[in-house]
Structure 1
Amino acid sequence: MEKVILEDRFTTHQKITFLLYIGAPFIIGIVTMLKTNLTSIGFLVLLLFIAIYTFLVSVAFLKRGFVKIDSQLYRGSFVRGRLFFKTKIDISRSPKVSVLKFKKNQKFSWFSMAKPDLATDFNAFEINILNERHTKREAILSLKNKNNIERTINFLTSNFDLKSEVYSPNFN
């Protein structure tokens, strides 16, 4: 299994929102249960809450990248360098790979009352697989860090029968 781990799955803002809104009830439940005298069923429920919260924390800190398993390409999510889950990417009809740059923004959910349009702008670098004439493209991953593009293209072109090209559709 060859892999390339590229960047965090979620932004810091998304991690905080995820852990605050979804994780807070579990933390409250755990603290409340620790303050009471627990029976054996209470301990099982406490262990279940701790396991669920641990799972939520590990999901919040996922990193994403690509994995090659048995000559197949997968988009993978990693926790501490270990593959957490994967999604197969069919590259049989897409012999080309290209990177497109987009200007994107993300709104902040916490500041909606004070400044409803508060957002951050960033560049997104979308990795696409293309057909021979570039008329069909499929985005397989979007990256925020420009430094990860070269590593990604090197991994895809050296491990698979993909050729890196500049996106230039030919509809003739």
Structure 2
Amino acid sequence: MDKIILEDRFTTHQKITFLLYIGAPFIIGIVALLKMGFNSNLNYKGYLTLIILLTIYSLLISIAFLKRGFVKLNSNLYRGSFFYKKMFFKKRIDISKTPKVAVLKFKKSQKLAWFSAAKPDLATEFNSFEINILNDKHTKRESIIDLKNKDNVERTINFLTTHFDLKNEIFSPDFR
């Protein structure tokens, strides 16, 4: 199994939002059960609930810190989500009708949710590199991953062209 692990799945802003807003009920439940446990008022159902809440919150933390990448399994290309180099999720990408790969660069921005009252239009701008698989005439394209780091783009293109029959080209559609 050949794999390349590239970038974080979520931005820092998204991680904090995810862990605070979705994780808050779990944290409140865990703290409440621990407080009851220190007073010796907790029975086996309480401990079972505590273990379940801790497990779910641990899964939320692991999802928040996932990294994205690609995997080659049995000559098939998969986009994977990794946590400490261990694959959690994978999705097959069909490259049988798309022999070309190209990189498109975009300027993007992301609004910051916590600052909306003081500055409603506060956003961070960044460059996004969209890696696409293309048909022969470049008339059909499918985005397979968005990256922020230029070095990761070069590593990804190298991985895709060496492990698969993909050719790196400059995007230039031919509609004739």
Q: TM-score w.r.t. structure 2 length?
A: 0.97
Structure 1 residue 141 displacement after superposition: 0.1
Task: Check if 1:165 corresponds to 2:169.
Answer: yes
Percent identity over the alignment is: 70
Structure 1 residue 33 displacement after superposition: 0.3
Structure 2 equivalent of residue 145 of structure 1: 149
**Of residues 108, 111, 116 in structure 2, which corresponds to 1:107?**
111
Q: Is the partner of 1:34 in helix, strand or coil?
A: helix
Distance (whole Å) between structure 2 residues aligned to residue 49 and residue 121 of structure 1: 37
CA offset digits 1:2-25 (Å, max 9, x no partner): 100000000000000000101111
Q: Is the partner of 2:150 in helix, strand or coil?
A: coil
Task: Check if 1:49 corresponds to 2:49.
Answer: no
Q: Which amino acid aligns with 2:27?
A: I
Structure 2 equivalent of residue 58 of structure 1: 62
Q: Is the partner of 1:147 in helix, strand or coil?
A: helix
Task: Check if 1:124 corresponds to 2:137.
Answer: no
Distance (whole Å) between structure 2 residues aligned to residue 122 and residue 29 of structure 1: 38
CA offset digits 1:12-47 (Å, max 9, x no partner): 000000001011111111010011121111111100
Q: TM-score w.r.t. structure 1 length?
A: 0.99
Structure 1 equivalent of residue 9 of structure 2: 9
Q: Which amino acid aligns with 1:18?
A: F
Structure 1 equivalent of residue 19 of structure 2: 19
Structure 1 residue 158 displacement after superposition: 0.5
Structure 1 residue 114 displacement after superposition: 1.1
Distance (whole Å) between structure 1 residues aligned to residue 53 and residue 118 of structure 2: 35
Distance (whole Å) between structure 2 residues aligned to residue 139 and residue 17 of structure 1: 26
Q: Is the partner of 2:71 in helix, strand or coil?
A: strand
Unpaired segments ≥5 residues, structure 1: none
Q: Which amino acid aligns with 2:12?
A: T
Distance (whole Å) between structure 1 residues aligned to residue 43 and residue 119 of structure 2: 48
More helix by share: 2
Superposition CA RMSD, Å:
0.5
Moved over 4 A (4+): none
Once the two structures are superposed, the pairs formed by residues 31-50 of structure 1 within 5 Å of their partners are 31-36=31-36, 37-50=41-54
Structure 1 residue 72 displacement after superposition: 0.4
Distance (whole Å) between structure 2 residues aligned to residue 17 and residue 76 of structure 1: 23
Task: Check if 1:79 corresponds to 2:83.
Answer: yes
CA offset digits 1:109-129 (Å, max 9, x no partner): 111111111000000000000
